Amino acid sequence: MVISGKTRVCGVIGDPIEHTLSPIMHNAAFKALKLDFAFLAFKVKAADVEKAVSGMRALGIHGLNVTMPHKSAVINYLDEVDQAAKAIGSVNTILNKDGRLFGFNTDGVGALQALRENGVEPRGKKVLLLGAGGAARAIAYTLAREADELVILNRTAKQAAELANLLKQTFDRKVVADTLSPNAIKDTLQDSDVLINATSVGMKPNANQTPVAFEWLRPDLAVMDIVYNPVETKLAKDAKAAGAKVVSGFEMLIYQGAASFEIWTGHSAPVEVMRHAALNHLLKV
């Protein structure tokens, strides 16, 4: 990679940021397509989000990914935000177009693409979503247009109810909210077709944890855990052992990254290159 005065700079902001796989994925993709781009990671504290966005504008940084905990805060400093990102109050991708900053959220489309590319079609199905945080909101917004019924369980019932009401008003679909509890998971799973864990349960260093008991899983269920570190969570292992169809959170990571790449470059993302680079890095750490 040769850096010059013509090189377009993209990056990711968050805190913490050391764990991010975005530079690995995107620099590999830029190299594969011979694009004069470079991708960096920037640690930005919550108090400095406005300064970071102003810096993006001033320095002519072409694109940014936004990760926790800044996905909501950045919205206040952008010129335009697309409909989905505005509705869920969460931006994970920014494009600098001639000094105007445009906000998008690719988490939902990334999740949907990951499901479909792995043989899971949520259209017309009953989907159980665990969690109502930033990524969960994006997933819910996308799947509410596809699923026949969406059930959202969250530790804070009010947050789940607010999200469900938004989706019902926006899409006129059946969306149910309840408190995240073992009984609610067990009862809802009995007639669900797809289960998506959008909580942090099972993430390293607590890789032995799962929100779903093994005996509640079954072969005709599709399971996606958006946790990607470890690549195979306990929930994913249990679901596989139960004969269920399993989609890794790693796949969602790749496809949301691919969607961001396409927003910045206008080129189709080299998905296999991105997957290979990120997976190799994950398996080394």
**Cα end-to-end span (Å), the chain:** 24
- The model's confidence at residue 240, banded by pLDDT at 50, 70 and 90, is very high
With contact defined as beta carbons under 8 Å apart, do 74 and 61 qualify?
no
Task: Determine, yes or no, domain membership for 3.
Answer: no
Measured from the Cβ of residue 172, the count of other Cβ atoms closer than 10 Å reads 9
Residues 240 and 118 in one domain: yes
Task: Determine, yes or no, domain membership for 2.
Answer: no
Q: What is the mean pLDDT of residues 19-48?
A: 97
Domain of 270 in residue numbering reads as 8-105+252-284
Residues 140 and 243 in one domain: yes
Residues 95 and 134 in one domain: no
* Domain count of the fold of the chain: 2
- The model's confidence at residue 229, banded by pLDDT at 50, 70 and 90, is confident
Measured from the Cβ of residue 190, the count of other Cβ atoms closer than 10 Å reads 8
Question: How far are the Cα atoms of 7, 14, 136, 279 from residue 112, in angstroms, in the given order?
Answer: 32, 24, 12, 20
Residues 55 and 129 in one domain: no
Residues 90 and 115 in one domain: no
Residues 32 and 92 in one domain: yes
Task: Determine, yes or no, domain membership for 1.
Answer: no
- Structure pTM? 0.93
Measured from the Cβ of residue 20, the count of other Cβ atoms closer than 10 Å reads 17
Residues 115 and 234 in one domain: yes
Mean pLDDT of the chain: 96
Residues 19 and 148 in one domain: no
Task: Determine, yes or no, domain membership for 118.
Answer: yes
Catalytic residue among 6, 31, 43, 71: 71
pLDDT digits (tens, 9 = 90+) for 181-203: 999 999 999 999 999 999 999 98
Measured from the Cβ of residue 285, the count of other Cβ atoms closer than 10 Å reads 8
Q: What is the mean pLDDT of residues 197-222?
A: 95
Handedness of CA 256, 8, 280, 285 (dihedral sign): negative
CATH number, domain at 73?
A: 3.40.50.10860
| 8: its two tokens | 């377009």
Task: Determine, yes or no, domain membership for 276.
Answer: yes
Residues 79 and 155 in one domain: no
CATH number, domain at 116?
A: 3.40.50.720
pLDDT digits (tens, 9 = 90+) for 107-142: 999 999 999 999 999 999 999 999 998 899 999 999
To the query of whether residue 43 is one of the catalytic residues in this protein, the response is no
Neighbouring residues of 235: CB distance < 8 A, sequence distance ≥ 6: 197, 201, 202, 210, 211, 212, 223, 225
Residues 144 and 90 in one domain: no
For residue 285, what pLDDT is reported? Answer: 64
- The model's confidence at residue 283, banded by pLDDT at 50, 70 and 90, is confident
Task: Determine, yes or no, domain membership for 122.
Answer: yes
Residue, of 217 and 172, whose pLDDT is higher: 217
Residues 135 and 234 in one domain: yes
Residues 14 and 61 in one domain: yes
Task: Determine, yes or no, domain membership for 41.
Answer: yes
